[in-house]
Amino acid sequence: GAGVSQTPSNKVTEKGKYVELRCDPISGHTALYWYRQSLGQGPEFLIYFQGTGAADDSGLPNDRFFAVRPEGSVSTLKIQRTERGDSAVYLCASSLSGATDTQYFGPGTRLTVL
């Protein structure tokens, strides 16, 4: 079946602009995660959804970052007033339910803030 998909694959924006990154999880997976990976680093947890609700948003770096999953499937990560330090690959993952279930990662969105 189809894996996790993310759009766009690349996004270049200017400092101060607003961006939206989209994730479409594996069908039937109730758990969805967002991670951010900077060059030479491992992925860093941002937020976890179980169904429609954000069960843990403790990894969001500040209030410029926000994510939604209104129907319990597709999720959108929103970044306001982008800064150059936001440049990274944003990875989405999904798992069947949560906890110890395997997290399957999407291809990521490479965000570049000029």
Give the residues lining the site for other proteins (CB under 8 A): 31, 33, 35, 40-45, 48, 50, 55-56, 58-59, 91, 95, 98-100, 102-108
CB of 27 to other proteins, least distance (A): 18
| 9, 35, 90 from 108: Cα distances, Å | 6, 9, 5
Least Å distance between CB 51 and other proteins? 13
> Which residue number, 16 or 61, has a Cβ lying nearer to other proteins?
61
Q: What gap in Å lies between CA 86 and CA 90, rounded to an integer? A: 10
Which lies closer to other proteins via its Cβ, residue 17 or residue 45?
45
With beta carbons less than 8 A apart as the criterion, state whether 37 and 46 touch.
no
Minimum distance from CB of 81 to other proteins (Å)?
A: 26
- CA pair distance 51, 86, nearest whole angstrom: 27
C-alpha span between 73 and 67 (Å, rounded):
13
Q: For residues 27 and 100, which CB has a smaller minimum distance to other proteins in the complex?
A: 100
